[in-house]
Amino acid sequence: MVDSLKFIESAKRAIEIERDSISLLIGRIDEQFSKACQILLNCKGRVVVTGMGKSGHIGKKIAATLASTGTPSFFVHPGEASHGDLGMITSNDVVIAISNSGNTSEVVTILPLIKRMEAPLISMTGSNTSILAQEADSNLDVSVETEACPLGLAPTSSTTATLVMGDALAIALLEARGFSAEDFAFSHPGGSLGRRLLLKVSDIMHSGKRIPSVDHNVLLSDALLEISEKGLGMTAITDDQGKLCGLFTDGDLRRTLDKTIDIHNTHIDKVMTAHCRTIRADILAAEALAIMEDNKINGLIVTDDDQNVVGALNMHDLLKAGVM
């Protein structure tokens, strides 16, 4: 049985080697990197990433990262490119070719065709003297001193370094384009981040007849019936002009009962909370969540600029919408 310390030592050694390999990249962020960024910024089509084997797996991740951060991109397998998929590349595109050796046959085979269509070529290689590096308009050096694999065979440090270089490209382009969190959300509408950044209060609030609301002259007992019927744990209180003048919640009810107030003979305006927190319909639902959390409340009334009640929502609505 292998000593558990051996596992820990091996893992730490691998991480340290890969960490050192990544650190070396900082010194290679130079004019070649700037040129690559400029080529990508000027791209009128799509960024096409290609690579064989483990480089291909890394290429797929780089293409996905570029696409989700504002640079339209997709991956093409170099072997398939030689059998028809090269038709997916046009002269308006930019090709990013990845090869640690820089001489991978499947990648080198399609270079003349890429050159013929005059698509700009960016390479990521471990050898500046390789065929791929020499043919590229910009070569990004992702060479490593040693692989984390003790045999020096399995791509480990080299693939990590390539992935990090791809991330560096994506982030540099993101910042150059002024790509915002909202732009990111539009690329991820199905995820929790997309919901947090795209959903507005108006998208999830209760409106119309579903809004819990009573006149300020009604009895507390009538207000409780409205709270029960609408099921939001609260009701808005409106004045003679129909504008919000207060709020009554389940919590207010508990505090009221502690004072032994007669719910059948007390008017709601005597026990309501005036000057309550409100929100606008056009703010993000995530902002509504932050207001609730900061103020330790479970619901909010939505008003317009004239303090007319236009909606209501509570924590359950935010949870159901996936904002939490």
CATH number of the CATH domain containing 295: 3.10.580.10
The radius of gyration computed from the CA coordinates of the chain, to the nearest angstrom, equals 30
Q: Is residue 145, in this structure, part of any structural domain at all?
A: yes
Cβ(323)–Cβ(196) under 8 Å? yes
CATH code at position 8:
3.40.50.10490
Stronger pLDDT, 185 or 245, i.e. the higher one: 245
Is 123 found in the same domain as 235?
Answer: no
Asked if residue 62 is part of any domain, the answer here is yes
Mean pLDDT of the region 11-34: 95
Domain that holds residue 305: 201-320
Whether 102 and 20 map to the same domain: the answer is yes
pLDDT of residue 259: 81
Q: DSSP strand E in the chain: where? A: 47-51, 73-75, 94-99, 121-125, 138-141, 213-215, 234-238, 244-249, 278-279, 299-303, 309-314
pTM of the model: 0.64
Predicted confidence (pLDDT) at residue 182 exceeds the cutoff of 90: no
Flag whether 99 is in a domain: yes
Tally the domains of the chain.
Answer: 2
Q: What is the mean pLDDT of residues 151-157?
A: 85
Q: Does the pLDDT at position 1 exceed 80?
A: no
Task: Identify the pLDDT of residue 135.
Answer: 95
Q: Looking at residue 192, what is its pLDDT?
A: 53
Note the pLDDT of residue 186.
55
Residue-wise pLDDT for 222-279, tens only, equals 999 999 999 999 999 999 998 999 999 998 888 888 887 888 899 999 999 998 999 9
One domain for residues 252 and 166 = no
Looking at the fold, whether 166 and 206 belong to one and the same domain comes out as: no
Residue 192 lies in a domain: no
Helix ranges (H only) for 98-234 are 105-116, 131-135, 157-177, 181-187, 192-198, 201-204, 220-230
Q: In this structure, are 285 and 149 located in the same domain? A: no
Q: Based on the fold, state whether residues 290 and 151 are members of the same structural domain.
A: no
For residue 311, is it within any domain? yes
Q: What angle do CA 301, 304, 310 make, to 5 degrees?
A: 50
Mean pLDDT for the stretch of residues 55-64: 96
Same domain, 43 and 75: yes
CB count within 10 Å of CB 320 equals 11
Cα distances from 27 to residues 30, 122, 139, in angstroms, run 7, 19, 14
Q: What is the pLDDT of residues 68-90, one digit of tens each?
A: 888 899 999 999 987 778 888 99
Q: What percentage of residues in the chain have a pLDDT greater than 90?
A: 70
3-state secondary structure of 279: strand
Q: How far apart, in whole angstroms, are the C-alpha atoms of residue 30 and residue 39?
A: 14
6-33 b/e (C-beta count within 10 Å ≥ 16 → b):
eeeeeeeebeebbeebeeebeeeeeebb
Residues 314 and 231 in one domain: yes
The pLDDT assigned to 130 comes to: 96
